[in-house]
């Protein structure tokens, strides 16, 4: 259930980025296709963040420390660009035009995902009484 909730939160956050940021496009025939595309893109984004992002973060630790963590924004943008590329390879209608839309889109996805995750208590375990 926790996985499904995280997937839906990421899909909603990605939809917000598509809606707010010019240069992030979602092309689908109808609403159900858009929902399915967003869910699959959220799944791809989650896999990229789980597998690739830790490796890139470890490799660029010096840059992250040197920039006081601001380089993590660049890493997040690169993960969104990789998600866009993988989505294109799978024939999904999700595309990010370049680095700047990816940077702003990753910020929107992070903020909306954090807000929704906090409202839905996605990361909190049930307390035992």
Q: How does pLDDT run across 13-51, given as a tens digit for each residue?
A: 999 999 999 999 999 888 889 999 999 999 999 999 999
Q: How does pLDDT run across 67-111, given as a tens digit for each residue?
A: 999 999 999 999 999 999 999 999 999 999 999 999 999 999 999
Counts of helices then strands in the chain (DSSP H, E): 5, 2
Report in angstroms the alpha-carbon separations of 70 from 11, 23, 36.
Answer: 25, 22, 33
122 vs 12 pLDDT, higher one? 12
pTM of the full structure: 0.88
Q: With 90 as the cut, is the pLDDT of residue 128 above it?
A: no
Backbone angles phi, psi at 97, to 5 degrees: -75, -25
């Amino acid at each position: 259930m926790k996985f499904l909730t995280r997937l839906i939160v990421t899909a909603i956050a990605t939809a917000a980025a598509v809606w707010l940021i010019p240069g992030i496009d979602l092309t689908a025939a109808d609403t159900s296709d858009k929902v399915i595309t967003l869910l699959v893109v959220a799944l791809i984004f989650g896999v990229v963040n789980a597998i690739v992002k830790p490796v890139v973060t470890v490799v660029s630790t010096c840059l992250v420390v040197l920039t006081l963590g601001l380089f993590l924004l660049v890493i997040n943008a690169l993960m969104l660009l990789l998600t866009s590329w993988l989505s294109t390879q799978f024939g999904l209608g999700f595309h990010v035009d370049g680095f700047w839309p990816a940077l702003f889109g990753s910020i929107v996805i992070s903020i909306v995902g954090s807000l929704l995750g906090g409202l839905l208590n996605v990361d909190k375990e049930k307390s035992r009484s």
